[in-house]
A and B are shown apart, each in its own frame.
Chain A
């Protein structure tokens, strides 16, 4: 009875804490400007099913794709087991689904294979990061915390899977010994090999079984509450992120409506622009970006596929699309924290541009879309880079000198070079 109450209390606390943090995350995303992504619901759903659920873009790199798929399948399917743990925990039952007979054996048996698969995949991931030191996982933005974050996630998953398998091993050993309520239920194709490692005493086995059971479920709750602080948030955000991702051709940049109104008024004096909401042109800080840009930042799992294909980064420039996303998230969280502390309207005097992302980075971009193509969950760093450039050029008139010259040429001659418009057709003339 005590353990049931304890279990319910822990569960409620975990859910409450998670809801509290998610609310903050949603508030932070709402710092962003409005953008309508409610069109084409069917196409959006298909994109989400294909890209997030089906992980199609992952398979561009087959080895991590297969390993990731195992962890993903393990995560989704082993959750059925968590359902049983929840029921057992609340009602004080033991293996409540055991009555399913052979079906239960199949379920538990397949969970064990998956658990082993997840264990091995995470171990390989750790080796790739820490021993093989794959280039993709390094870079200026991969400081101590992002590296630790990745390792914490992998180690936690290994511990959870170990607990799950040990729990089964102890349980099945107790079952064969015919102890108390440990009635025969489940098949244990993997954990049977762990039985020999366990003690033979009833008390020892029960201690291990209970210990692992509690560790497993508390571990899951702890992991859930770790998500909002971690790159691992993608397990949730991958779905809305792909659903609301850009469906237009990648080459197309948005036309800014605020500019359209002003340009129309300039070209046609009889045009009266609609009352425009005051705001900046482009983005100086996170609240100038759209909520989709900000959701992108929470979704980023820092895998570095974008940076590894970025022509600027490959050739040693400072720009790294992954850093753009990580900076955006860090800045957004900083703004959120200072709002929590100092209340609405507080200005900490910092901004996304300069304090996080430098001019050198944004001007190194070739807008080639390699990063958006490479992202397995349709994150768009280019949209952020473009908005930062818009701010620099339109609000501050700051750009590299040669860019200013090019813009001046277009304005005066209708071409990015200093040629006379009268000579534009000379290519066809005999000389």
Chain B
């Protein structure tokens, strides 16, 4: 495991016990909690929150799946069970604002929870990073220089088309003074990594190619040094793709939170 944290991550339970309220709840998500690669991003998001002095907390073991993969797979019962249970926890803690480390959690809590009684201001971690840059709280200095490095950004479907968030992640990259190169299919026309709609959890149907290979070929056409992601599922699909293409020595797949942490030397 790389880059352990040198500070405690506060949980809601602890905060409440101390009689405190966080400004923002960090919703980690299942991938961010259990997937080893995504855990790195999770810790990096915490480092950013800790660094800027934002009063935050996580749910820890009280967090549970938002129900997104169940809903996309057609199990509305299971989705609503998960949603209502989570809403009960969130409302119990009087949560107002949430930042998520995953576009799927972001979409589900932001759009599908209000109808079930969960109303929160929800942002994705790339939006938080952009806001912190805009406010001058985060600068791209003190760490690794990305100046002039070729970075291509892959739009996650549930952040881009799903919720029209195209600019925040790009602004976070522009702050690095890097060379941002777009793939042929980007923004509204971005190609899925192949993981959405519960595909992450199953083998693909018969075809002539895997979707992540189609996508990674396009990404590699831009001859990037870094492929930037902002979704743990895209991260898996893109990293696998780069490995399949034997390019993992030359091209890194990094989450925008990781890039930000490196640029700031956190």
The residues of A with any CB-CB pair to B shorter than 8 Å are: 60, 248-253, 255-256, 259-260, 262-264, 266-267, 281-282, 309, 311-312, 314-319, 360, 363-370, 372-373, 386, 388-394, 399-400, 402-403, 405-407, 410-411, 414-417, 419, 421-428, 430-431
Contacts and interface: CB of A to CB of B under 8 A. Distances in A.
A250 B188 CA distance: 11
A428 B72 contact: no
A427 B164 CA distance: 30
A400 B69 CA distance: 14
Q: Could you tell me the dominant secondary structure of chain A's interface residues?
A: helix
B244 interface: no
A252 B80 contact: no
Contacts, number: 221
A282 B75 CA distance: 10
A315 B211 contact: yes
Given A311-B214, A312-B211, A415-B64, A366 B111 contact: no
Given A363-B202, A415-B30, 14 more contacts: A249-B162, A251-B158, A267-B85, A309-B191, A315-B213, A316-B207, A317-B204, A367-B72, A369-B157, A390-B76, A394-B76, A423-B34, A427-B39, A430-B5
Given A281-B76, A411-B78, A425-B33, A402 B196 contact: no
Contacts of B176: none
Contacts of A400: 202-203
B206 interface: yes
The 4 A-B residue pairs whose C-beta atoms are closest, nearest first, are: A251-B162, A389-B74, A367-B197, A316-B208
Contacts of B82: 410, 414
B209 interface: yes
Contacts of B240: none
B91 interface: no
A424 B210 contact: no
Contacts of B163: 249-251
B56 to A, nearest CB: 12
A366 B196 contact: yes
Contacts of A255: 76, 80, 112, 115-116
A407 B70 contact: yes
Contacts of A366: 157, 192, 194-197, 199, 211
Q: Which of B61, B74, B161 has the most CB of A within 10 A?
A: B74
Contacts of B206: 316-318, 360
Contact of A427 (B42, B72, B107, B214): B42
A394 B77 contact: yes
Given A249-B111, A366-B157, A425 B58 contact: yes
Contacts of B11: 425
B33 A315 contact: no
19 contacts: A251-B161, A255-B115, A263-B84, A267-B85, A282-B74, A365-B197, A366-B195, A367-B157, A369-B162, A393-B75, A403-B198, A410-B69, A410-B82, A424-B33, A425-B11, A427-B34, A427-B39, A428-B9, A428-B43
A373 B189 contact: yes
B191 A370 contact: yes
Interface of B: 1, 4-5, 8-9, 11, 28, 30, 32-34, 39, 42-43, 46, 58, 60-61, 63-65, 67, 69-78, 80-82, 84-85, 107, 110-112, 115-116, 157-158, 161-164, 185, 188-192, 194-211, 213-215
Q: Which of B60, B72, B203 has the most CB of A within 10 A?
A: B72
B34 A417 contact: yes
B4 A430 contact: yes
Contacts of A372: 161
A392 B111 contact: no
A419 B67 CA distance: 16
B112 A315 contact: no
A266 B77 CA distance: 11
A65 to B, nearest CB: 15
B33 A311 contact: no
Contacts of B211: 311-312, 314-315, 366
B42 to A, nearest CB: 5
